[in-house]
Structure 1
């Protein structure tokens, strides 16, 4: 049932949605007042008042909205406008997805969130473990001003796994174009507000996930305020995720290794547990040194990856990234991961072998990117299996992974692995056939 269905009915839901939105604005205004320069006691009191008022308003709006929806479902079922089959269909779908394999994805950036949209069609047992080393853009501003962990990659993963209306996703992805909030995403501010009324960032993520009906779990890899440094091959040390690629290009020196500060940052226990209990763990896709590798430097993640019985796959980028992986082959990507996370953190690498038009290749070459070449012999020497496929998809003139084909190949690889749970194998086999048939 779409949002338009509820808005057409005079059940008071519009006023509660408006009240929730207005309450959120109160919270954001309160937080902005608190971080303005030269805060006085009066400003602090006013800030607390706005936050408290907004929090009460959101809780009340949520309770009233749920009550209104439940009441309307019962009423419409009596009138025959909403069939029990429709409701039962959604319930059965959720039950079906709950039988899917336990999949953990590790990384950051847009590539990770995009892949999640494909995987959630097969299983609801998804855990996204996301880097919190970002210090650029709107996330960097909120991190600096509010002392919170960067929300950007977390927000994208939550939205990828959320069951929301398109208009709601558009709202949460909206970026302000003018004023003090210029460049900020509304979704980032939403998560910042949640952080303000929560005991910690993890609780804020859970609350936002609950509000948006997220499939699975989204976890920050750590709750500690971590930053990364890159040691270039010329010996120069670059601090800050956002300037590492540009500095490497400026210095004309490739990255030798990534170091995290503090060096003893501990992984979230839930993240370690998810890896240990997974059927499959997927690293990437995403920026090699600034999105994927930082997760491996958090205490507990490397040991978990080496110890888990899960199938461990790395989704290699289709193109090289200037300042991070210039002239890298597939084996170079794998070696970088093994150097930072250990020899046994990858079983198979997923590689694109699809064709890319000359015009598009030239467009990327002008920006310093080229196709990542597959070097099978060196991968075999590293003890890593190869899963090949055509994963090319062109979106708005840019090269992206085809999420449908990528999720299909991932599920097929999991199916081939001898899982102990035969019910999960039977479910996954039928789900693969069902989804592929629906695309024909």
Structure 2
């Protein structure tokens, strides 16, 4: 009974066509039965029976057609997670999307960290031909117990990229970050165990990562930039050398200096198999966003990578960071980011730069200011030979300023479409499909944003009615801003209180010393006075 109820509750849109077929069968059977049972029938009755039978027959045919169509839609939807939660989906749109994904542009994304994963999450909605070239540079740093036990490479960024390209991103993310808490596996990470097993099965890490693309049903593929033991070394402006990636920001902030140059050790690191080939076959090469000196530039310093990018006919796009990064890019502008890449790799490595408009709620910027971060200044006039594209790329996620995956991806695809158009390929099937897909995604994202706004507006009246006093229009409209301002002010107040407490502690120590001196003086005075009084008493007694 429960199973039957669950079947009725499911929203696969098939039951309506089954019901139509059932109604059609009833009508057709009724018409046939009436003809067979009745001995005498008038012309009017014949007409009525024929109409009933035709309605039944047409209902059966339509029901079967739409049931088969919906079955095909469900089948295609189940094979591609990207079609989940999309409205107005039909066989035509599903087949079209499948064609777009398979024949989409070859895009190579170079970087590491959350910036790279953001770009991958957005671009997988446009093409299956994605390649992520990822940093491996945690050598020499303190390894986790899991890595030590299983003798693993530092695959942190590789794992994150695999999660971003996985068809079921949420489930793979939970699985890869799961750490065992009991038994012999206590302290071991599932992802390390998985890659260790894949390494043993396939013989090496390279093949284990490539095979993971198939095992995890990934959209695109992930390639480590090198399989050599690469370490990042920073040369600071004051001549100090830092040879540990994780300590670079800390030492830069501590020494009050800046990074002069980034090096990799050894300097002749070989690119992993497939890296140079992917760059040569690319239609578009995306660099960044991410930590400039630890995730972006080190990849470009691997032997042959920069040369391959310069020789590639692909359009080269740099996604600028929205905020500066403490200890790496303090007070950096867009031109500073670009010049740092050009200084390390030479000219001709970037054709376009996509940067944010900087239209962010001031209160969130204020939070970042307390942590030593600021908006990246937009001084594009200082850079020559690079084309710029300004877009509103930012979004607020979990109280953090992030790049919006959909907006970043649509900006990149827009550039690719413009480039194809420039090459006089307006009638090219790839351009037509990609341009149509771009417009469709923009329309879907617009609908999603409108639905989010409506849902927020729908929640507010209930809250208003539930309270007796109610809230002002200003309070309802700017409640998020007010909360963030209060939070920022609270942080500032606590910071000031700590500083005041330190000063007060120092002041109390000084006051205590002064008071102790005064007490000692008072004690001395008191004893002298007592002696004088005693002497006076003795003299008076003698006189008597």
Alignment gaps of 5+ in structure 2: 1-5, 7-66, 81-94, 448-544
Provide the C-alpha distance between the structure 2 equivalents of 1:238 and 1:214, rounded to a whole number of angstroms.
Answer: 37
How does the TM-score come out when normalised to structure 1?
0.76
Tell me how far 1:182 sits from its aligned partner: 8.0
Structure 1 pair 144–287 and aligned structure 2 pair: CA distance change class (3 A): farther
Return closer, same or farther for 1:201/1:233 CA change in 2, 3 Å cut-off.
same
Match runs of 1:91-106 below 5 Å = 92=95, 93-106=97-110
Shift of 1:200: 1.5
2:410 corresponds in structure 1 to 408
Judged with a 3 Å threshold, the aligned counterparts in structure 2 of structure 1 residues 415 and 149 are, in CA distance, closer, same or farther, namely same
1:287 aligns with 2:291: yes
**Structure 1 residues 140 and 258: CA distance shift in structure 2, 3 A:** farther
Query: What is the match of residue 112 of structure 1?
Result: 116
Alignment of 1:222 onto 2:226: yes
**1:160 Cα offset (Å):** 0.8
Q: 1:165 to 1:283 in 2, by over 3 A?
A: closer
Cα gap change, 1:275/1:196 in structure 2, threshold over 3 Å: closer, same or farther? same
Do 1:241 and 1:290's aligned partners in 2 also have CA atoms closer than 8 Å? yes
Report if aligned partners of 1:155, 1:188 keep a CA contact under 8 Å in 2.
no
| Correspondence for 1:387 | 389
Find the aligned partners of 1:283 and 1:113 in 2 and give their Cα distance: 12
Distance 2:377 2:328 in 1: 16
Looking at structure 2, the residues matched to 144 and 172 of structure 1 have their Cα atoms a distance apart, in angstroms, of 17
Separation in 1, partners of 2:391, 2:363 = 21
Please point out which of 87, 96, 114 is paired with 2:75: 87
Cα separation, 1, equivalents of 2:147 and 2:189: 13
State the structure with more CA Rg: 2
Q: In the alignment, is the contact (CA less than 8 A) between 2:132 and 2:221 conserved in 1?
A: yes
CA distance in 1, matches of 2:348, 2:417: 21
Q: Residues 58-77 of structure 1: matches in 2 within 5 Å?
A: none
Question: 2 CA distance for matches of 1:96 and 1:125?
Answer: 10
Q: So what's the TM-score if we normalise by structure 2?
A: 0.62
**Match among 345, 351, 367 for residue 347 of structure 1:** 351
1:121 corresponds to: 125
Confirm or deny that 1:399 pairs with 2:387.
no
The answer (yes or no) to whether the contact 1:138–1:185 under 8 Å persists in 2 is: no
| CA positional deviation for 1:394 | 0.5
For residues 329-387 of structure 1, give each alpha carbon's deviation from its aligned partner in whole angstroms, at most 9, with x where no partner exists.
0010001111112211011111001312221111111111100001021123xx11111
1:301 paired residue number: 305
Deviation, 1:143, is 5.4
1:431 to 428, 432, 437: 437
Match of 1:428, SS?
helix
State the shift of 1:229 in Å: 0.5
* Map 1:3-402 → 2, pairs under 5 A: 83-88=71-76, 90=79, 92=95, 93-135=97-139, 146-164=150-168, 166-175=170-179, 185-380=189-384, 383-402=385-404
Kept in 2: contact 1:142–1:150 (CA 8 A) = no
Instruction: Determine the C-alpha separation between the residues in 1 that align with 2:74 and 2:219.
Output: 19
Distance 1:299 1:248, change over 3 A: same
Cα deviation, residue 312, structure 1: 0.3
1: CA distance, partners of 2:387 / 2:286: 14
- Corresponding residue SS for 1:318: coil
CA distance in 2, matches of 1:176, 1:356: 40
The two structures, once aligned, show a CA RMSD in angstroms of 2.6
Cα distance between partner residues in 1 of 2:280 and 2:144: 31
Flag the 1:417–1:177 CA change in 2: closer, same or farther, 3 A: farther
Structure 1: 5+ residue stretches without partners: 6-78
Cα distance in 2 between the residues matched to 1:235 and 1:141: 35
Q: Name the structure with the higher helix share.
A: 2
Distance 1:425 1:295 in 2: 31
CA contact (8 A) 1:140 1:150 kept: no
State how far apart, in whole Å, the 2-side matches of 1:308 and 1:318 are: 28
